[in-house]
Amino acid sequence: MTVMSQQATKKSKLFYLHVFITVVLMFGFGYLPPFGSITSFGMRMIGVFLGLIYAWTTTSLLWPSFLGMLAIVFSGAYSMSEFAAISFGNETVVFMILIMVFTGALDKAGLVKFLSSWIISRKAIEGRPWMFTLALLFGAYLGGMLINAFASVIFFWRILYTVCDEFGFKKYDKYPSLMVFGIVFASMTAGLTALPYHLTALIVIGAVESAAHMSIPFVSYVLFTIPMSALLIFVYYLIMWYLFRLDLSRLKDINIDFIDKKDLILNKTQKLAIFFTFLMITLLMSVDILKLLLPDTAIANLMGGWGIIGVVLLLIVLGLVIQVDGQSFMHYQESIKSVDWSMIYLFAIILPFSSILTSDATGVSAWLVETLTPLFIGKSFLAFAVIILLLGTIITNFANNSVILVIFINICTPICASMDIPLLPLVMCMLFCYQLAYMTPAASAPAAFVFGNTTWIKASAMYKPIFITLVIMFIVCVAVGLPFGNLIFG
């Protein structure tokens, strides 16, 4: 047997061990005797929960989600048809599928390439290396926020490589290494947090609705996330300038000649894609705005009845019927390839399961309150928030960010209710803190993107500056995010 075959066999055995442990947890844990306020049904649900967390962490998202659905039905909570209605029929799950389809069409239009070229072609960056650096970071941010984070990273990395080659920077130099990280953070962390139709935002919105039975208005969400995400990018910019003291003297003669002028010309499809992008944002926010400004009017009732799902359906219809040069703007079969089905199945189980796990029938919420509340008695909201945010931020560097968000939202909901402290400001800070997962290549998808760029960065040299950056960003999230969250959601 070759070394490769031995490694494959060992890997298969380890995988089947993970499967075995998952099955034991999901279907066997419930036979253990209950404790505290937790009921027998609660023990079965805890078993499913532990099995899901273990399998998601050690294997993948797909098959554990399916097995978890079977385990929930096996527990007697629902029939399969009932569970299908509250999982795949969940508003957030349906919205996720539709918004992925529509934004997939926007991505196919090639807007990221135009956006990156347009931002870097501004006269203000000529001879101003730090202005160029700021343009790269905020350009990547806008690309990730409005269009596609992965494409935004690739295009802005290409601009960075071109400039570094032109002005004599070598691989592993401080500036390109830190910018490789900065562009990923700006696009894939800050950008994907800023608007409420990206996956991470939908996780938080769905988990809060499921666990706390309250909604996060899209307008309030944006009023918090856009300033906070922009602030974190600017903080990183200042860290590079004043803390890491990068020498950018080689870029003092930077100009915009390297931009291909053809990339600055919008074609018909791209112009329509820009229109659809701003129409999407406007309509999604108008669902909440019209309720506040024009209550009980025909347009407010119409948009309220449609909701966010109706808005996206309208956008898809428009994308299919509006033609450019004889062809529909939106090619459905191509756009549907943008749907991340593993994430959809994760949502389909975790959102309804959150309600089941924290229901009165399980006793889990009561047990959490009884166990954890005494630890925080006499402590301020700030102390409680710092402990929760710090604990989750550490764990998220070793576990799936989305799962950790859902777990901590479910843990904090009954505790916040029992201590009479606001939940939403804390949750919104979780949204940012629990994405500070860059300490290892396996910490998150963005981290894998950063450490996978072995052409320009050396992993061993990045751990210290990334750690310093994450500590400062955590402090900013706590010091600014909590009071700002209280202002917006209090």
- Judge contact between 68 and 26, C-beta under 8 A: yes
Residue type, 216: I
Mean pLDDT by 10 residues, the chain (490 residues): 70 93 96 94 93 86 92 92 92 88 86 79 87 93 86 86 86 93 95 87 88 88 96 97 92 77 86 91 85 86 90 95 94 90 85 83 86 78 92 85 85 87 94 92 82 87 94 97 93
- Judge contact between 477 and 433, C-beta under 8 A: yes
Task: Quote the pLDDT of residue 4.
Answer: 66
Task: Quote the pLDDT of residue 3.
Answer: 63
Task: Quote the pLDDT of residue 133.
Answer: 94
CB atoms within 10 A of CB 49: 24
- Three-state helix/strand/coil letters over the chain: CCHHHHHHHHHHHHHHHHHHHHHHHHHHHHHCCCCCCCCHHHHHHHHHHHHHHHHHHHCCCHHHHHHHHHHHHHCCCCCHHHHHHHHCCCHHHHHHHHHHHHHHHHHHCCHHHHHHHHHHCCHHHCCCHHHHHHHHHHHHHHHHHHCCHHHHHHHHHHHHHHHHHHCCCCCCCHHHHHHHHHHHHHHHHHHHHHCCCCHHHHHHHHHHHHHHCCCCCHHHHHHHHHHHHHHHHHHHHHHHHHHCCCCCHHHCCCCCCCCCHHHHCCCHHHHHHHHHHHHHHHHHHHHHHHHHHCCCCHHHHHHHHHHHHHHHHHHHHHHHHCEECCEECCCHHHHHHHCCHHHHHHHHHHHHHHHHHCCCCCCHHHHHHHHHHHHHCCCCHHHHHHHHHHHHHHHCCCCCHHHHHHHHHHHHHHHHHHHCCCCHHHHHHHHHHCCCCCCCCCCCHHHHHHHCCCCCCCHHHHHHHHHHHHHHHHHHHHHHHHHHHHHHHC
Cα–Cα distance between 100 and 104 in angstroms, integer? 6
b/e map 79-112, b = 16+ CB within 10 Å: eeeebeebbbebebbbbbbbbbbbbbbbbbbbbb
* Burial class of residue 37 (count of CB atoms within 10 Å of its CB; 0-12, 13-18, 19+): middle
> The tokens of 214 are what?
């309250």
> What pairs with residue 328 in β-bridges?
323
Residue type, 317: V
Task: Quote the pLDDT of residue 483.
Answer: 96
* Burial class of residue 62 (count of CB atoms within 10 Å of its CB; 0-12, 13-18, 19+): middle
* pLDDT one-digit tens code per residue, 153-175: 888 888 888 888 888 898 889 99
Q: pTM for the full model?
A: 0.80
Task: Quote the pLDDT of residue 272.
Answer: 94
Task: Quote the pLDDT of residue 260.
Answer: 74
Cα–Cα distance between 287 and 303 in angstroms, integer? 5
Residue type, 191: G
Torsion of CA 290, 291, 292, 298, to 10 degrees: 60
Cα–Cα distance between 97 and 104 in angstroms, integer? 11
- Judge contact between 457 and 451, C-beta under 8 A: yes
CA angle 326, 327, 332 (to 5 degrees): 165
- If you search the block for the tokens 């428009």, which residue do you land on? 318
Task: Quote the pLDDT of residue 38.
Answer: 94
Task: Quote the pLDDT of residue 418.
Answer: 84
Cα–Cα distance between 312 and 279 in angstroms, integer? 10
CB atoms within 10 A of CB 328: 13
Q: What's the Cα-to-Cα distance from 205 to each of 102, 212, 218, 223, 282, rounded to whole Å?
A: 20, 10, 9, 15, 19
Cα–Cα distance between 203 and 431 in angstroms, integer? 9
Task: Quote the pLDDT of residue 182.
Answer: 97
